[in-house]
Amino acid sequence: MLYASVCRTDLLFANGFPIPAFPRVMGHEGVGVVESFGEGVTGLREGDLVIPAYIAECKTCETCMSEKTNLCLKYPLSYNGLMLDGSSRMSIRGQTAYHAFSCSTWCQYLVINVNFLIKIDPKTPLPDASFLSCGFSIGYGATWKEAMVKNGSSVAVFGLGAVALGAIKGAKSHGAIKVIGIDNNPMKAAKGRAFGMTDFINPEESDKSIAELVKDLTAGMGVDYSFECTGVPPLINQAIQSTKLGTGKIIQMGVEEPNVNINIIGLLVGRTLKGSIFGGLKAKTDLPIIYSKCKNREIQLDELLSHEIKLEDVDSF
């Protein structure tokens, strides 16, 4: 491993969600170099720059051959902290240590099934490669693959972290003319604008609900698409209510707890709520396209990098 990033999902894993498997080596965003490989591995050689993904793409199963989903049937998404054969490749003083998804990037070395690796251009800046292995790409992919944002449309994005910034950039890239960012941290406004946000809402600055504030910015109609990136239960309902009656589409990417209360009336009036894993991206097919956009400077990720620390300094940070 050369670089690894911190994602909110890692914090959820640390708190025992969705399965309390400990000890666990965290991290699922990162970039590294192939040091060695076992029998049957093809398409890679020592020294290749790669990123680990928690979504595989075999390109042969029913779902990989379709455009309906990015969830591979042959190499399924793993939450239990073990590899596909039911074993772990890590231990701590003789005790089994669990992976984060199919990998654990907060370490010097990792062992991973080759089907969860994507080879990338060795000229790709390492911080960019790390960011694009999960967070930013999820948001960008959700606008592209899940919502299929249309030219001239309006968008609301809840929570201005890396996933949301990807959604903002993706929405603008696909022609959205009004992109509303929502966060209770006023310092996030500058980040949102750097990626194309047109309007900012800080819910703490008004007595109105978020949905009402969004409608105030859209002539009372609401937006065409909402991207909920936090998983905070009340915000999910606000994301639903912020979209247009009859046609509004809500893409849910964040998660805080496994069960939430949804106001079903908001959906009965024609809106669509869709869950999304990895932004609907097919790892081997779609991630190279996003990397190419970064290489061509269509996407500039400099704003995502706040600071760098060494792995051994994490405890003191």
Placement of tokens 């969705």 in the chain: 18
Q: Along the 317 residues of the chain, how does pLDDT read in single tens digits?
A: 999 988 888 888 888 888 888 999 999 999 999 999 999 999 999 999 999 999 999 999 999 999 899 999 999 998 888 988 899 989 999 999 999 888 899 989 999 999 999 999 888 888 888 988 889 999 999 999 999 999 999 999 999 999 999 999 999 999 999 999 999 999 999 999 999 999 999 999 999 999 999 999 999 999 999 999 999 999 999 999 999 999 999 999 988 888 899 999 999 999 999 999 999 999 999 999 998 888 888 888 888 888 888 888 877 54
Contact 27/40 with Cβ under 8 angstroms? Answer: no
The C-alpha atoms of residue 289 and residue 185 are separated, in whole angstroms, by 32
Q: Over the chain, what HEC string results? A: CCEEECCHHHHHHHCCCCCCCCCECCCCEEEEECCCCCCCCCCCCCCCEEEECCCCCCCCCCCCCCCCCCCCCCCCCCCCCCCCCCCCCEEECCEEEECECCECCCCCCCCCCHHHEEECCCCCCHHHHHHHCCHHHHHHHHHHHHCCCCCCCEEEEECCCHHHHHHHHHHHHCCCCEEEEECCCCCHHHHHHHCCCCEEECHHHCCCCHHHHHHHCCCCCCECEEEECCCCHHHHHHHHHCECCCCCEEEECCCCCCCCCCCCHHHHCCCEEEECCHHHCCHHHHHHHHHHHHHCCCCCCHHHCCCCCCHHHHHHC
Please check whether residue 195 is in contact with residue 170, taking contact to mean a CB–CB distance below 8 angstroms: no
8 A C-beta contact, residue 133 and residue 27:
no
CATH architecture, range 3-133+302-316: Alpha-Beta Complex (3.90)
Same fold, 3-133+302-316 and 136-279: no
pTM assigned to the model: 0.93
Residue ranges covered by each domain of the chain: 3-133+302-316, 136-279
Tell me which CATH code domain 136-279 carries.
Answer: 3.40.50.720
